[in-house]
Amino acid sequence: MPELPDVVVYLEALSRHVVGHRLERVLLVSPFVLRSVDPPIASLHGETVRGVRRVGKRIVLEFDGGIFLVIHLMIAGRLRWRAPGQKPGVGPRMLLATFEFAHGTLLFTEASSQKRASMQLVRGADALRALDPGGIEPLDATLEQFHEALTRESHTLKRSLTDPHLFSGIGNAYSDEILHAAQLSPMKLSRSLTDAEFLRLYDATRATLTAWVERLRDDVAGGFPEKVTAFRDEMAVHGRYRKPCPICGAPVQRIVYAANECNYCAKCQTGGKLLADRSLSRLLKDDWPKSIDEL
């Protein structure tokens, strides 16, 4: 799922390409992508995009009259820009909707058969606010605000960072990178951090997200993001199971749960201890290695 750095770069690209331009027509290729009925989507035809903003991981296009188009990309949803006459470059089954402007077309696609990506048209600031889970902005938060959000409930650091009610825009990928940079176990409880560990986490969160915004911004180079993915070669641990940690060289480990996985370096983050995988460690029982050295 596109997270804060990806969404920020999307917003910058949308500002360059569509803000201040008249939306000629919205074509719903997949009728199920629209999850609202009032205002009707046709009310946007002929209206000018006045601005863009982020609500958590959602992308919002602003129109006159307090109308907001809220796009939730979910895991496989993406936005693509095509100049007049340029081919879509995606299969017809991936296309959810098109937004036609005089100078080009914005495509809303999804590379998944589950069709979780969606958009809603809402009227008024209160309706938009109702879609906000309420997490703090990690790049704007003070030390005190960050601490209050982190310790509001006793969860693992992985769960706390990815909870949209606590932190806005951080998901599975960048939480792995943040925790690796902070040299903290993903399973450490949020209320058990020492002052030094908390400061490392606060600094690592800001540094990691800022660095990735800059890196993705440089990749786009004033164009429109085309290769938005949660798995990048430059990442330290996320999606790099069994590959060497860039700091110590030990093989990156993982914990698999539900539809996600958590990646970490045992030497850098857990003092060499291997965290129990819910399925594999239960299967191996006594044969499950307890440390990176045993592995």
Q: Print pLDDT tens along the chain (295 aa).
A: 899 999 999 999 999 999 999 999 999 999 899 999 999 999 999 999 999 999 999 999 999 999 999 999 999 999 999 999 999 988 889 999 999 999 999 999 999 878 899 999 999 999 999 999 999 999 999 999 999 999 999 999 999 999 999 999 999 999 999 999 999 999 999 999 999 999 999 999 999 999 999 999 999 999 999 999 989 999 999 999 999 999 999 999 999 876 678 999 999 999 999 998 655 444 434 433 454 444 4
- For the chain, where do the domains classified as CATH 3.20.190.10 start and end? 4-129
* Closest alpha carbon to 2 in 88, 69, 80: 80
Q: How far apart are CA 116 and CA 225, in angstroms?
A: 21
Domain span(s) for CATH 1.10.8.50 in the chain: 143-287
Distances (CA, A) of 141 to 59, 135, 136, 138, 149: 21, 10, 7, 5, 10
In the prediction, which pLDDT does 277 show?
A: 67
Residue 238 phi, psi dihedral angles, 5° rounding: -65, 125
pLDDT at 278: 55
CB neighbours of 91 closer than 8 A, spacing ≥ 6? none
The structural architecture, per CATH, of the domain 4-129 is Alpha-Beta Barrel (3.20)
The answer to whether residues 101 and 26 touch, using CB atoms and an 8 Å cutoff, is no
| Distance separating alpha carbons of residues 66 and 80, to the nearest angstrom | 25
Largest CA distance in the chain: 66
Under CATH, what is the fold of the domain 143-287?
Helicase, Ruva Protein; domain 3 (1.10.8)
Helices then strands, each counted (H, E), the chain: 8, 11
State residue 258's pLDDT score.
67
Sign, CA dihedral 138-144-147-152, equals: negative
Q: What is the pLDDT of residue 53?
A: 97
What the block records as the tokens of 44 is 């946007």
Q: Contact at 8 Å (CB) between 292 and 272? A: yes
